[in-house]
Amino acid sequence: MKKICFYFQVHQPFRLRTYRFFDIGRNHDYYDGFANQSIMRKVAEKCYLPMNQLLLDLIQKYEGRFKVAFSISGVAIDQMEMYAPDVLESFKKLAKTGHVEFLAETYAHSLASLTDRDEFNIQVQNQVKKVEEHFNQTPTVFRNTELIYSDHIGEIVADMGYKGMLTEGAKHIMAWKSPNYVYTNTMNPRLKLLLKNFQMSDDIAFRFSNRDWEQWPLTTEKYVEWLRTMDGKEEIVNLFMDYETFGEHQWAETGIFNFMRALPEAVFRQTDMEFVTPSEAIDQLQPVGPLHIPEPISWADEERDLTAWLGNELQDDAFEQLYALWKIVRATDEDDIIRDWRYLQTSDHFYYMCTKWFSDGDVHKYFNPYSSPYEAYINFMNILSDFKIRLGDGTEEKSEVERLRKLTEQQDAQIRELNKEIGEIRRNN
């Protein structure tokens, strides 16, 4: 019996406030509290609350035959605790059904897996503690930030004790292979891999409301027919997407909630397929073989690589300077220091610095609160300069800031004197 596995990513970054050069050394508040609260409440009302209720209704209606999985970043849970406790309660209700699985991921939705194994481990452990605290589950399946995966990362995850991991069924990796099977990590075959079927996933996540798409409008009958007519030998269809697809990226007016509400009934009526969680899929299906992925992939952009976050001079400089501080940060016992360092690791900050304005430019501009990647970089680096001063590692930054402040004050004084002289000349004439 072929299986369907729904997985949703839930993440909200702590957005940074406009942090100017002359704030350095004077103001250690880096976050835009108004934006963070207002955006969390907006997404809660448009997506999290109505979609959680819809899923709860479906699980109850079909007595557990309908199942889904989530990963929720630690920084998203932090904001739910602060701004949307009702959302957190609605996720807890889903957890109590016994038919919703919560996965492990990095606490800060970070890129730590690419650079620092110790920090990667710590963040995963911290996120798991949040999952255990709120949802009474200990994850056995892992999803890395933005589905980033390589053979090496998979080996690390296997060493952590996870039995499975989610990643992208990227075309340049799969070649002739199908994503609709379970595979294994090449370095540690104990780790099983579930691969996103990007065609079927993106039909919902990105193309659903596109009136120029030749398949618009997408009905449940049409979608289930596509599922039904897949190769009968294939074993699983992994539908992975941002949870904000529902109500936020695809507005309620598009019919996305009605589509999702009708989907399980259509699946049960038109096919013999069943819904499973990732851990169930891993337990029930035998892998068909190892999948060799020597270089990191992700689920972002047409390239399905890391260039959404790393690769240009802005991103690489910010990334390297941030992670260069890890020894000093960990040597401190200051919770605020460690918290800020982790919040600054959130991948969104590097995404905003992306200069790709070709095939995926519109997507990047849609998610970017800054007017340009350069503005995002300058804002981030101003904050990082202040952070270095707090660590005692910013002597050069502090002296340069003070030098420029004094120079600016001198220039302001000279301008004031000049204006006085001009005023005197005008009065005398």
What Rg, from alpha-carbon coordinates, does the chain have? 24
* Model pLDDT for residues 23-72, shown as the tens digit of each residue: 999 999 999 999 999 999 999 999 999 999 999 999 999 999 999 999 99
Q: Which residues contact 286 (CB under 8 A, 6 or more apart)?
A: 182
Examine the pLDDT at 410 and tell me if it is beyond 70. no
* Model pLDDT for residues 207-252, shown as the tens digit of each residue: 999 999 999 999 999 999 999 999 989 999 999 999 999 999 999 9
Supply the range of the domain harboring residue 227: 3-291
Min mean pLDDT across 19-28, 80-89, 360-369 is at: 360-369
pLDDT band at residue 423 using 50, 70 and 90 as cut-offs: low
How many other CB atoms are there within 10 angstroms of residue 179's CB atom?
Answer: 26
| CATH number, domain with residue 158 | 3.20.110.20
Name which of 333, 334, 372 is nearest 354 in CA terms. Answer: 372
pLDDT of residue 417: 67
Assess if residue 423 is contained within a domain: no
Min mean pLDDT across 137-141, 153-157, 223-227, 410-414 is at: 410-414
* Model pLDDT for residues 166-212, shown as the tens digit of each residue: 999 999 999 999 999 999 999 999 999 999 999 999 999 999 999 99
Assess if residue 320 is contained within a domain: no
pLDDT of residue 333: 85
Assess if residue 425 is contained within a domain: no
Assess if residue 25 is contained within a domain: yes
Examine the pLDDT at 118 and tell me if it is beyond 90. yes
* Model pLDDT for residues 287-319, shown as the tens digit of each residue: 999 999 999 999 988 889 999 999 999 999 999
Q: Which long-range contacts (CB under 8 A, 24 or more apart) does 134-137 make?
A: 134/77, 134/88, 134/91, 134/92, 134/95, 135/91, 135/92, 135/95, 135/102, 136/95, 137/95, 137/101, 137/102
| Residue in this structure with the two tokens 């100017």, named with its chain if needed | 20
pLDDT of residue 359: 44
pLDDT of residue 232: 87
Indicate which residues carry an active-site annotation: 146
What pTM value is reported for the model?
Answer: 0.90
Percent of the chain topping pLDDT 90: 84
pLDDT of residue 360: 45
Number of domains in the chain: 1
pLDDT of residue 403: 55
Q: Which residues pair with 274 in a beta bridge?
A: 3
* Model pLDDT for residues 394-405, shown as the tens digit of each residue: 555 555 555 555
pLDDT of residue 396: 55
pLDDT band at residue 358 using 50, 70 and 90 as cut-offs: very low
pLDDT of residue 361: 44
* Per-position b or e across 318-330, b if 16+ CB within 10 A of its CB: bbeebbebbeebe
Alpha-carbon dihedral 289, 293, 296, 299, rounded to 10 degrees: -50
Assess if residue 353 is contained within a domain: no
Q: Within 13 Å of residue 310, how many CA atoms lie on the same side as its CB? A: 18
Assess if residue 189 is contained within a domain: yes
Mean local confidence (pLDDT), 332-341: 94
